[in-house]
Amino acid sequence: MSDTSSTLRIVWIYPDLLSTYGDQGNALILSRRARLRGIDTEISHVHSSDPVPVEGDVYLLGGGEDRPQILAAERLRSDGGLKRAVERGATVLAVCAGYQIIGESYGDDDDNPLPGVGILDIHSGRGETRAVGEIVADIVPELGGGRITGFENHQGRTTIGPSARPLSRTVIGIGNDNQTEGAYQGHVLGTYLHGPALPRNPGLADLVLRLCVGEIAPLQPSWGEKLHEERLAAVM
Ligand code: GLN
């Protein structure tokens, strides 16, 4: 957060194009877990006809179908606000279609490469099969955040370039390529996990919050932890 504001500004990008499987729950849980630590929050919904504000603290993007995903990428690229926000240190969590389009390139429905927003060094193309089902992965130890659980449904497969690192190692499911799931580069995180990801994974929610505000106090385990355990037990 900036020195001049004590409010965590959460920006939900393109609810009209990128918002499958309840991904908007990520904004609600991030806000809830910040408020439980005494941090005020404000959630703005930025539709694809609106400019993306550059002064947000954390930007969230959800999943989407192939055509809305292309439109979202074109608008984000011509707007430029998300890229400028990342240059000034903002945090990003992008899911599935959102993850693919913040990369360097992604494939359209015929697998022709299209340019992404270019804030995460990944390239996505289309796989031969659709990855559908429950997914479990372990966040890399250097980030902390533990085991994550979610639901994936995507044709895309993702290769991580030299400037980014895997977010996690796949235990069940496909993720990027059967071996790793998601990617990160500085404060920019991407994942294939729907669920939504943050309600199902309090550890991931707190990782995103730490990137925004620094160290945060632990919370008493509650419904989020119960949901997390229940979803893991269903597949492990
Ligand atoms: N359209 C993309 C794919 O199939 C992303 C899907 C999604 O966001 N669930 O790979």
Ligand 1 atom nearest to 65, measured from its CA: 1
Residue 5 banded pLDDT, cuts 50, 70, 90: low
**Is the CB of residue 216 less than 8 Å from the CB of residue 206?**
yes
pLDDT (0 to 100) of residue 147: 98
Catalytic residue among 154, 187, 194, 228: 194
Q: Domain 7-235 classified CATH 3.40.50.880?
A: yes
DSSP, collapsed to helix, strand or coil, labels residue 189 as strand
71 Cβ inside 6 Å of ligand 1: no
**Residue 32 annotated as lining a ligand binding site:** no
Residue 1 banded pLDDT, cuts 50, 70, 90: low
- Give residue 8's Cα distance to chain centre: 17
The terminus-to-terminus CA distance of the chain in angstroms comes to 38
Closest CA to 135 of 191, 214, 77, 55: 191
Ligand 1 atom nearest to 21, measured from its CA: 9
20 Cβ inside 6 Å of ligand 1: yes
Domain ranges of the chain: 7-235
6, pLDDT greater than 90: no
**CA–centroid distance, residue 157 to ligand 1 (Å):** 10
63 Cβ inside 6 Å of ligand 1: yes
Tell me, yes or no, if 123 is annotated catalytic: no
- Residues 92 and 69: their CA atoms lie apart, in Å, by 17
**CA–centroid distance, residue 196 to ligand 1 (Å):** 14
3, pLDDT greater than 70: no
pLDDT (0 to 100) of residue 109: 87
108 Cβ inside 6 Å of ligand 1: no
Tell me, yes or no, if 228 is annotated catalytic: no
